[in-house]
Amino acid sequence: MTHTCTFSTSHGRRVALRTPVDLRVHARVSPRVLATAAASVAAALALAACTTGSAESGTATISLANCGRTVTLDGPAERGVTLNQGATETALSIGAQDRMAGTAYLDDAIAPQWAAAYAQVPALDEKDYPSREALLEAKPDLVTASYSGAFDDKAVGSHESFDELGVATYVSPFGCKDKSTRPAVAWDSIGSEITDYGTMFGREDEAAAVVAQMRETLAGIESAAPAKGKSIFWYDSNTTTPYVGANAGGPQLIIDAVGGTNIFAGTAGSWADGSWETVLAANPDVIVLADASWDTAEEKKAYLRGDPALKDLKAVRDDAFVVVPFSTTTPGPRTIEGASLVAGQLGGDGA
C-alpha cells in the first residue's frame, strides 16, 4: 500500500510525499518464554497508547485508498469516532485518544493496557452503534469501523451521507462490503491497517512501533510452534449450528502462527457456519473458545460437556480448552495478543 500526503510548508510550497509500506516479516528470532509473551505485548502497546507526540510538519492533506473508495482528510483527524471495539483499540494502540470524540459497540472488555486511554474518550453507546443523531452531535471529522455494516442506513448511515457532510469514513480492509477489495488475510495486512490509522490520526511513529512489536512477537511464536501436529476447532458461538473460525480471518492467522491445523480450513471466510458432524468427524485435539459478552466461553464449555455426542470429543474429555477474548480475534493490534494467549495456554498454562 502507498500513502500519499501533501504538505504545505511555512513558505506555502506544497510537497507530495509517497511512502510505500512493506511489512513483510524477514527475520526469525529465538522463541520467547511464551508465558511472558502477552505481558510484553501489552507493555509495548500501552507505551504507544501513552504517547501523544508524533512527527507532524505543517498542514497535511491525507489521501488513502480504502475498500474501493478514497479517504481524504485536510489534516490528521482531531475528532475521530470509532464504531467497533476493533477500531477503537486500533486507535488507542497508537495513542490517538486525544484525537477522538467518541467510541461505540464493545464485544468484551477493553484491553487493560488501553483502559485508562479509553476512559478519556466519550462512549456514545457501548452495546450497539450509536444513533446517527448522537454520532453527529459528537462533531466527528473521521468515523471508522471494523465492519461495513456500520455504514448501513440501519446503523449510522452510508459513506455517501457522510461525504455530503464533509466527514471522512474508513472501514477495516478486512470488512470491506465488496469482498473483491479485501486484502489477503495476513499479518502484513493487519500492519497496513495500523499504518492507515497512524496516517489518519497523525501518529505515524507510534503506529510503526506497534507494527514492529507485532512482527517481533510473531517471529517468536512461529519459531516455537506450540500447536505443531495438533488439530484445532475454533468455536466462536451458537449451538444449533456452530459459528466457527474459517480459513480467512483472525482465527486462521492465530492457528497458523502457533503451527496448528484448522479443522475448518476448507471453509471460506473469516467466520462461517460450520457443522457438528464435521467437528465429530475431526475429533480435534484442541478447542479454542472465543469469550464474548454475548456468548461466553463458559457457556460454550457447558454446552460441549452436556451434549450427549460432543462430550466424548477428545478435547472435551481432556479439558483441552483454550480461551481468548473475542476482541483478540478481530484483525487488529490485539490479534497478536490472541496468538500469544493461545501459544501460552498450549504451552501448559491451561484454559
For residues 37 and 73, membership in a common domain is answered with yes
User: Around 178, how many Cα atoms within 13 Å sit in the side-chain half-sphere?
Assistant: 6
For residues 215 and 307, membership in a common domain is answered with no
For residues 86 and 116, membership in a common domain is answered with yes
Domain encompassing residue 90 = 22-220
For residues 206 and 242, membership in a common domain is answered with no
3-state secondary structure of 18: strand
What digits encode the pLDDT tens for the residues 183-211?
Answer: 988 999 999 999 999 999 999 999 999 99
Phi first, then psi: give them for residue 82, nearest 5 degrees: -110, 130
Of the three residues 220, 237, 267, the one that is the final residue of a domain is: 220
Chain-centroid distance, C-alpha 90: 7
**pLDDT for the residue 270:** 87
Residue 17 lies in a domain: no
Alpha-carbon separation of residue 177 from 128, 150, 155, 159, 171 (angstroms): 19, 10, 14, 12, 9
- Partners of 2 in beta bridges: 20
Domain count, the chain: 2
Q: Is the pTM of this model over 0.85?
A: no
| Residue 17: band (very low, low, confident or very high) from pLDDT cuts 50, 70, 90 | very low
**pLDDT for the residue 76:** 97
What digits encode the pLDDT tens for the residues 74-130?
Answer: 999 999 999 999 999 999 999 999 999 999 999 999 999 999 999 999 999 999 999
Average pLDDT, the chain: 86
Residue 176 lies in a domain: yes
What digits encode the pLDDT tens for the residues 19-70?
Answer: 333 333 333 333 343 434 444 444 444 444 433 344 444 566 999 999 999 9
DSSP letter assigned to residue 29: -
